[in-house]
């Protein structure tokens, strides 16, 4: 089954790379027309945090020069944690910048980001709860495909330092919920470019 998934991902990646290069060559041929303008804005949704962390991120990115873009993404986390049977809620924002050696906001990028999140957790009946301020800062290397000047597919991988602790004091013991330390960060974002 894993070989089938890898094969499928490889086929999709190959198609997207070919589509990206053919789109760039078509733009180079028609560069004199007003319709050949490259998009400078993107709005994307990231399904990986939604699936694995029950976190919804909607990101807005804007190219501020030929090789730099700025982005911001409000975040909402709702669900139970995998470390215990705790209910976990959070709201915050991620912001950062990306450097594109080609032309922002498409192609290879190197980015830095920071996240600030207000988090709340509760456990048991009667409920024991706690709140805390969580942060994360890190970097990422990736590639953004702008397909047909409208569709955005962005992939990346990196690492972040996270301090996302909420402490719960139950009658039995004190418990900490959330990530703490260096964590891997993956990016799969889908959206529109304009």
What pLDDT, on a 0 to 100 scale, did the predictor assign at position 40? Answer: 96
C-beta of residue 109 within 8 angstroms of C-beta of residue 100: yes
Rounded to whole angstroms, the Cα distance separating 177 from 88 reads 8
Q: What is the pTM of this model?
A: 0.75
What pLDDT, on a 0 to 100 scale, did the predictor assign at position 55? Answer: 84
Radius of gyration of the chain (CA): 20
Rounded to whole angstroms, the Cα distance separating 61 from 64 reads 9
* CATH 2.40.160 matches 38-193: yes
pLDDT tens by residue, the chain, 194 residues: 445 444 444 554 444 444 444 444 444 444 444 345 789 999 999 998 888 777 888 999 999 999 999 999 998 988 766 556 678 788 999 999 999 999 999 999 999 999 999 988 887 766 788 888 889 999 999 999 999 999 999 999 999 999 877 777 666 666 677 778 999 999 999 999 99
Per DSSP, the residues of 178-193 read S-EEEEEEEEEEEEEE
Residue 185 is classified by DSSP as E
The full set of domain ranges for the chain reads 1-34, 38-193
Closest residue by Cα to residue 74 from 61, 57, 52: 57
What pLDDT, on a 0 to 100 scale, did the predictor assign at position 82? Answer: 56
State both tokens at 183: 């964590």
């Amino acid at each position: 089954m894993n070989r089938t998934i890898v094969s499928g991902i490889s086929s999709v990646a190959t198609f997207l790379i070919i589509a990206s290069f053919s789109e760039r060559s078509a733009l180079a041929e028609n560069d004199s027309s007003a319709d050949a303008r490259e998009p400078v804005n993107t709005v994307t949704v990231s399904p990986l945090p939604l699936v694995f962390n029950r976190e919804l991120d909607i990101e807005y990115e804007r190219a501020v020069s030929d090789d730099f873009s700025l982005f911001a993404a409000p975040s909402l986390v709702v669900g139970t944690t995998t470390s215990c049977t705790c209910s976990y809620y959070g709201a915050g924002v991620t912001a950062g910048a990306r450097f594109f050696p080609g032309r922002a906001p498409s192609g290879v990028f190197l980015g830095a980001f920071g996240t600030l999140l207000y988090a709340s957790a509760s456990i048991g009946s009667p409920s024991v709860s706690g709140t805390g301020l969580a942060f994360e800062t890190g970097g990422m290397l990736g590639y953004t495909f702008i397909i047909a000047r409208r569709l955005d597919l962005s992939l990346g991988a990196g690492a972040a330092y996270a301090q996302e602790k909420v402490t719960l004091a139950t009658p039995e013991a004190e418990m900490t919920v959330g990530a703490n330390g260096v964590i891997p960060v993956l990016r799969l974002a889908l959206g529109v470019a304009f």
